[in-house]
Amino acid sequence: MKKFNTQAPISNRFTYAVLAIMLVVMAGCSGLRLAYNNGDTVLYWWLNAYVDLDRDQKGWVRDDIDKMFDWHRKTQLKDYVEILRTGQKQLQGNITQADLMSDYSEIKQRTQALLLKAAPDLADLARSLKPEQIAQMEKKFKSNNEDYRKKYLSGDQDKRQKLRYKKAMEQFELWFGSFSSEQEAVIHKASDARPLNNDIWLDERMRRQQNVLTLVKKVHQEKLGKEAAAALITTLIKDSFERLEHSERKAFFDSYEASTAQMVLTVIKIATPAQKTHAIKRMQGWIDDFNSLAAQPK
């Protein structure tokens, strides 16, 4: 069963990282196949908003994105099918918190593999960036952070708890359908039991952004070749994932992941047979879509 990550600690990575996020977001679309088939365009415009691609870059960046989607379609979607099938079986069995943590670990591994695959293309892009494009990226980061502050750091703790609960419920309702008021009260309690510190998430977000900016400035200033740039990007990707395991904030991250898994487990345990059937049918729809996409020629 896929874990609901309602405050993803690995969000906002450079460029193609958004593809991994898109695959989660698109699961909420009724037309997943349509969304996936247009994902290359969405990703291109997302990237363009960060660096304002020039005329020379636009063509080969589109080609790189097309190749990435083609690789992903041919090699990764079948794995997503297996993850969903595992989720269907777990919903019909006696799922444990350890199962959820294992599922989450597998999803993180898939995400990392996607980013590492993109490293050579990211190296090409990093080497092509001009000073004004790096400045645009920095400006975009600052703007995004300001939006985060307004949304997640405004109001008191109770307001932030309610916002987080609302976001969690949107995901749970996507999977299971509507809940009774009694179920909602139980879920709300489980949501509030998670540690809440949005200042930490913002600081981690800004740390990652600064690492990206430092990297692209180094590539530009030292005029690094593709191999050297790709090595730096690979190291950055791996360090970003490993930080959760070796950070001075490890206790907080571990507590957050464990309590989020416990919240998901709570929802599964209180779900009615009809709600579980709803989730299993939704997974089957996505399985059918992924199988169709994997078999679809470019």
Give the Cα-Cα-Cα angle 36, 23, 206 (nearest 5 degrees): 130
pLDDT value, residue 144: 94
108-145 pLDDT, tens per residue? 888 888 889 999 999 999 999 999 999 999 999 999 99
Contact 78, 46 (CB under 8 A): no
Mean pLDDT of 210-223: 96
Mean pLDDT of 234-239: 92
Asked if residue 19 has pLDDT above 50, the reply is: no
pLDDT value, residue 40: 84
Asked if residue 103 has pLDDT above 80, the reply is: yes
Per-chain mean pLDDT for the chain: 87
Asked if residue 51 has pLDDT above 50, the reply is: yes
For the purposes of burial, counting CB atoms within 10 Å of the CB of 86, is it exposed (0-12), middle (13-18) or buried (19 or more)? middle
Asked if residue 30 has pLDDT above 90, the reply is: no
- Which of the pair, 233 or 43, is modelled with greater confidence? 233
pTM for the whole structure:
0.85
Percent of the chain predicted with pLDDT > 90: 70
pLDDT value, residue 4: 40
Name, in order, each residue with C-beta under 8 angstroms of 5's C-beta and a sequence gap of 6 or more. 104, 260
For the purposes of burial, counting CB atoms within 10 Å of the CB of 226, is it exposed (0-12), middle (13-18) or buried (19 or more)? middle
